[in-house]
Amino acid sequence: MKTTLLATLVASSALLSACTSTSVSEPSAMISNKDKAVAVLNSIETGDTKAISYINSSNYTQHNLAVGDGLAGFGEVLHALPKGSAKVKVVRAFEDGNYVFTQTDYNFFGPKVGFDVFRFDNGQIVEHWDNLIAKADKPNPSGHTQLDGALTVTDLDKTAENKALVSEFFNTVLVKGDYQKMPQFFDGDHYIQHNPAIGDGLSGLGKAIDEMAQHGIKMTFTKVHKVLGEGNFVLVISEGTFAGKATSYYDLFRVDNGKIAEHWDVMETILPKSEWKNTNGKFGNL
């Protein structure tokens, strides 16, 4: 199946490169961008070649630095997967304008948790960013996993308001380091945490920060690249350092009644340039 899919990816490139917004079939055009993104992710496991038509073969920019650019790069990764090893379960999917962002339970060269961001143009995927981390083998100190928790999207009329709230929190507290203002963004200690090493509440976060300091581990956030949201869920993509290494942060927040109520994240060390398989950059075009 992998060889067939790779061959289809490469062979169909010339045909799909001629696709425009008017050439996409009507049934495909009726499928939401969110569903298209989920179909592409599921194809990693199923080998469904129909999902290929949702990717613009002549204009597909890849920002996973371990993957070659374009449709061919995607195909090479699929070809390298051990037979029958790939498993994909999209847990959450959201749409914000031309962007779709997902949170997925993977077996992809080993068990992983990942966030993927896709940019669409004329109904086709033209750009992809992601962050991946090894899946923890046990729940965090409060009994939560990296993927459980709230699923339902609500408050669609408050998307802009919730994005502004989370942006202010991120820039004020995490980037500028004004931790004294942190409590104003939360409902006391009522805060559900899904980071595998941190317990619930501001008290759990404070304990984790203290423990890192005791071990000489410093976490910094230097720049927010993108804030995406749908209703009560907001994703922040940023960069900084963790333990002295350049790090990409993807943080997903659930907002409830104007306060941050729940948090999931994926931290990924950024590959050195000598190991990049494309030149698009981890945060390019965000």
Model pLDDT, residue 280: 98
Average pLDDT rounded to a whole number, residues 161-172: 98
For 208: left if phi > 0, alpha if psi spans -120 to 50, otherwise beta; the answer is alpha
pLDDT in tens, 65-118: 999 999 999 999 989 999 999 999 999 999 999 999 999 999 999 999 999 999
CA distance 115 to 109: 16
Question: CB-based contacts of 203: which residues, under 8 Å, 6+ apart?
Answer: 189
DSSP secondary structure string for all residues of 136-166: PSS--TTS--SS-S------GGGHHHHHHHH
3-state SS class at 53 = helix
pLDDT in tens, 232-247: 999 999 999 999 999 9
**Four-CA torsion 33, 265, 67, 125, nearest 10 degrees:** 10
Average pLDDT rounded to a whole number, residues 279-285: 98
Model pLDDT, residue 254: 98
DSSP secondary structure string for all residues of 91-126: EEEEEETTEEEEEEEEESSSEEEEEEEEEEETTEEE
Query: Which domains are assigned to the chain?
Result: 2-135 (3.10.450.50), 156-269 (3.10.450.50)
